[in-house]
Amino acid sequence: MKEFFAGQFDIAVIGAGHAGIEAALAAARLGMEAIVFTINLDAVGNMPCNPAIGGTGKGHLVRELDALGGEMAKAADACCIQYRLLNKGKGPAVWSLRAQADRRRYQEYMKHTLEQQDHLTVRQGEVVEVRTENGAVSAVVLATGAVFSVKAVILATGTYLAGRTIVGECVEESGPDGMHAAGRLTDSLLKLGLPLRRFKTGTPPRVNARSVDFDEMELQPGDALPVPFSYGTQSPPENRAVCWLTWTTEETLRIVRENLDRAPMYSGVIEGVGPRYCPSFETKVVRFPDKLRHQLFVEPMGLNTEELYIQGFSSSMPEEVQIRMLRSVPGLRHAVMTRPAYAIEYDCIDPLALRPTLECKAVPGLYGAGQFNGSSGYEEAAVQGFAAGVNAVRKLRGECDFILSRSESYIGTLIDDLVTKGTEEPYRIMTSRSEYRLLHRQDNADERLTHIGHRIGLISDERLAAVQDKYAAVAKERQRLEHTHLAPGEAINALLREKGTAEIVSGASLADLLRRPQIEYADLLPFDPERPALPRAVGEEVSITLKYEGYIRRQLKQVEDFRRMEDRPLPEDIDYAAVPGLRTEARQKLVAIRPVSFGQASRISGVSPADMTALMIYTESGKER
């Protein structure tokens, strides 16, 4: 293939899925000349696994990304057709927004956003090689021979890198949804010394809605008062679709068990490691043999299609077995399958080979994002793409790194987990992964991160001022409630009895009443004639911060302790072989990961408190100099 010079850019992004989109937009919006490559322009922002944004923990990521200046939340509010706030029966730390997206509309929105962005070129083409000069990134090469000179590259390859789809005995070299895979790029990355591994994920089958009996299913409507993803969305979103819930049967389990010898998961066809928290249906049957039925969620793919996703039915069983499985489920007994479920294997990097900036340690200027880094999920991919894009820009400009701490965000937790602890399976964010989840609620991401987005240069002065005004209103209203008292009376005590809480006998402030778990902000309105007209979000913040202020104060103290360790840097060139008292395992892990702080070192698997003590004594003695 004859090569030719095709152009010069600051940053190249390989892949235009959820990671690549955010990486490219962040780089271009910060003024860099960027180019984003995709194997097929019709696959920009594709949603092959499920047509939804958000979910438990994932909704937090979308809100945080929005506060920093990312695009996903805006796209969701423009394209989603049903909204539900999950876990409302639990505390606000785990409330998580999830919305069904119109899959094609979302893709169109994201493609057009990329096309309209200044300083950004969108290009269809398969990247087959990343070149270096003097050890650093210098160019990318397309299959057509086009050579683009670049200063940094962000790998956002999703499941395309050496992709292989599996439906029973039918195994094809393929990316998702029948797109062709990116095979030759793997060889280039291996030559650069990147430690690649093999992971797997899967998709559920799709069916035609005209063949579904919805009367046999349970209706799952959206929220009566939907909440948007983006803090900048002014109008409340509108629910324009519904979902349904059904269950598998004992017949479904029997069909799977009788055909396990044909299941690629157990016949040795599939080599990649799959996600523990989103397993294939056949894995559920094997892993939970005593469970007689499993939930399935039936979700629309969009407003202008009859296709429905059958969530919870991810599989790689042969197609004819999948059809029998579907038709054993209430509501799906006459279902016409439009697309079979499939498993997909792909290459990705061991994230321990990445710096906290997501730059590859072995190749300066080469960054990873999304499923290439060993994570799963659209939301996890998007926030990594944003972080990689911002860091690539800041490195080229000679500015300090953009690293979010796990003490201030779920994004920081996700990236720190990947680059410090690594992962042996596709990583998924969950609220349980954060030590500070009461502080990192989805409702207050704007308070936590908007000022950082402004400092980076992706949040306007006006938006920062709006957030500051919002939380000034929260503080003012809290103070007013603390100083507004109610005398005991039949009306207020009747409310308290109705809510199952103690009556007042000597008067109480509105703030003290609101601190009771049974009382909501709206309950006190009849007794609060001086209440100002406040936005719903302000009232929610007032209620949450009053109810949980003791727990919040305790977590803030934990954050202070955490930051003392995080703010204590480790010399980049420290010789761990010279540190007396370090165990062999700890020495090996520290050399491999090269932690940037004592805090990061303490979270490395295999580094014990005794190892940390030895490290502190050594650095305090000055011997590392």
Cβ(123)–Cβ(115) under 8 Å? no
Average pLDDT over residues 479-483: 97
Please report where in the chains the tokens 């969950």 appear, as a residue.
430
Residue type at 81 in one-letter notation? I
- Condensed to tens digits (0 to 9), the pLDDT of residues 296-351 reads 999 999 999 999 999 999 999 999 999 999 999 999 999 999 999 999 999 999 99
Can you list the alpha helix ranges (DSSP code H) found in 368-460? 378-396, 410-416, 445-456
Cβ(353)–Cβ(195) under 8 Å? yes
CA triplet 208, 212, 218: central angle to 5 degrees? 125
Q: How far is CA 570 from CA 408, 430, 469, 494, 585, in A?
A: 21, 29, 39, 61, 19
Can you list the alpha helix ranges (DSSP code H) found in 410-506? 410-416, 445-456, 461-482, 490-499
CA triplet 39, 45, 51: central angle to 5 degrees? 130
Please report where in the chains the tokens 């305790």 appear, as a residue.
554
pTM: 0.94
Average pLDDT over residues 421-440: 93
Identify which of 440, 454, 475, 465 has the alpha carbon closest to the alpha carbon of residue 558: 440
- Which residues of 163-242 form beta strands (DSSP E)? 164-167, 170-173, 196-203, 206-208, 218-220
Average pLDDT over residues 595-608: 88
| Model pLDDT, residue 277 | 67
Q: Which of the four pLDDT bands, split at 50, 70 and 90, describes residue 39? A: very high
**Residue 619: how many other CB atoms lie within 10 Å:** 18
Q: Answer with the residue of higher pLDDT: 246 or 618.
A: 246
Beta bridge partners of 368: 155
Q: Chain-wide mean pLDDT for the chain?
A: 94
Structure tokens at 108: 């169109």
Q: Please tell me the distance from the alpha carbon of residue 599 to that of residue 405, in angstroms, as a whole number.
A: 10
